Structure 1
């Protein structure tokens, strides 16, 4: 799976040589901007100016206090980042519990999830066409505190300090079955992450032009079971050629657009497989005195298959 490299910083990190980091292969970098209703990270402006000047994909994050007003926190973040949030900028809600729980106090899981959705929607309205995602833990995801349809930046440190190459060689984590677009795999000596897109695709994603643009849980096509009869039939059988080519093209594009589309793909391909088997059985039954010709039976079955393929083609549109 293609990946690209990134990191994030806050006031705890010193001034970075972003140009050198870019030359070393870094593609994206995010800086803490705000926390709560009033706090601004004192190094945000310095960090983000350096990130953008180096030509990295830039972004910023806001540390959430879900027991405060989400609209007030969103307004605070929006005002702080607006001077820097040009095309291709990304925004992240840092949803994580303080060790003493003070920022979650008095809120249940459903209320925290609703809070996060309100903040994210407010930032989307303020920056149309820009990506707004969430940085959060496996515990928060498992507890149901995270909205489903947002890009996920997931922190998990299985090795402590580790080079990018180790994360790139490891399987993509899937907390509670979700596939993050970014994995923060170490915080030593700095927070390092990889994104599960090539540099070109990540830049396109950040710019809002990638085809898989609104679904965070992208599923590689090698995880979709395609029956052997479909693979064998693609180069022939002209009656279904156009519909099957739609499916082939969508699968070959690299990703099904979402887990939902992948599930639809598998279900409809199974339906087509059953229809193909039925065709064979009916044709064979003609020898026992059926009332239709083989051509008539096949035409009727193909009509149903065409309808299924049309439905699949619509489901796979971006």
Structure 2
């Protein structure tokens, strides 16, 4: 087993039981959505609303943000795009994380991975652009197939994918002292990640069904359940996510992350 840095194991203990089985003990009929959705999905009993802690993920495309309104609306966390590949940085990252920090929203940067440059090149770029102060939560590695990219549609074999991911995450863990979270999509997970990285927390995209129905044997810490959400303080549509744990578990984890 690879060494777990301090602060990571407690989250396993807090949310380790938050799989689909947890819903057997929750009455969901009377739970209202926390945020509006312009294209709501029918998740049945396994709806995002049984999770009380919700947050957003954003990039430059979200434009000007009124962070005070965002906080007042009930947003508990924000994942903010920082970098992409080996030479692209989101021009609003520095502004966004400082403003989120000013209103007290826990935040973390994410990196969109390109398989056309090396893990070390991308880790160097991320580290050069992302200060330690910009992350209350662990940094995120966003791994998806770039099917619509104009510059990089490379699809390495699964072994290469996992080796590159591991190298990138090791670099970030050493530098920042926090084990990265892995964000992924259904097809990328199916092609590369089933049965692997069990000692990492996952943030799963699943906008039409509960993750237990779309991912093979994968527990999650965060669930991205819509890309068409409406959040006060943000113009246009917004990605919204749920944390797979109670408010008490959330507060304990955030506190633990900030000790590192």
- 227, 231, 245: which is aligned to 1:197? 245
Identify the residue that residue 48 of structure 1 maps to in structure 2: 97
Q: What is the deviation of 1:131?
A: 4.1
1:37 aligns with 2:77: no
Partner of 1:288: none
Of 42, 62, 77 in structure 2, the residue corresponding to residue 28 of structure 1 is 77
Query: What stretches of structure 2 of length at least 5 have no aligned partner?
Result: 1-21, 23-50, 229-236
Change (3 A) 1:14 1:106: closer
Q: 2:197 aligns with which of 133, 141, 147?
A: 147
**CA-CA distance at 1:89 after TM superposition:** 2.9
Q: Determine whether 1:123 maps to 2:172.
A: yes
Determine which structure has the larger helix proportion and give its number: 1
Q: Which residue of 2 aligns with 1:185?
A: 225
The secondary structure found in structure 2 opposite 1:61 is strand
The runs of 5 or more residues in structure 1 that have no matched partner are: 160-169, 211-318
Cα deviation digits, residues 19-54 of structure 1 (max 9, x gap): 222222111001100001111101111111111111
Is the Cα–Cα contact under 8 Å of residues 137 and 254 in structure 2 kept in the other structure? yes
8 Å contact kept, 2:212–2:218: no
Q: Over the residues paired in the alignment, what is the CA RMSD in angstroms?
A: 2.4
Residue 181 (structure 2) aligned to one of 119, 133, 138: 133
1:89·1:207 contact (CA, 8 Å) conserved in 2?
no
Mapped to 2, the partners of 1:186 and 1:150 lie a distance apart of 23
Deviation at 1:84, TM superposition (A): 2.7
The yes-or-no answer on 1:82 pairing with 2:131 is yes
Give the conservation status (yes or no) of the 8 Å contact 1:173–1:179: no
Question: What is the match of residue 256 of structure 2?
Answer: 208
CA positional deviation for 1:122: 0.7
Normalised by the length of structure 1, the TM-score is 0.57
* Alpha-carbon contact 2:207-2:224 (below 8 Å) kept: yes
Match of 1:5 among 24, 34, 54: 54
Superposition deviation, residue 191 in structure 1: 0.5
Secondary structure, aligned partner of 2:139: strand
Selected match of 1:91 from 130, 133, 139: 139
Distance in 2, matches of 1:140 and 1:148, equals: 16
- How far did 1:78 drift? 1.6
Task: Note closer, same or farther for the CA distance 1:99–1:106 as it changes in structure 2 (3 Å cut).
Answer: closer
- Give deviations 1:62-100, integer Å, cap 9, x for gaps: 0001231101201211221115335x3321001011114
CA contact (8 A) 2:115 2:155 kept: no
Asked if the contact 1:67/1:107 (under 8 Å) is kept, the reply is no
In structure 2, C-alpha distance between the alignment counterparts of 1:171 and 1:37, rounded to whole Å: 31
Aligned with 1:77: secondary structure?
helix
Count how many residue pairs are aligned between Structure 1 and Structure 2.
198
CA distance in 2, matches of 1:105, 1:33: 22
Displacement of 1:206 in angstroms is 3.5
Corresponding residue SS for 2:147: coil
Please state how far the C-alpha of 1:171 moved relative to its aligned partner.
7.8
Contact 1:131 1:208 in 2 (8 A): no
SS in 2 for 1:148: coil
Deviation readout 1:136-159 (Å, 9 max, x if unpaired): 012122112463321100111118
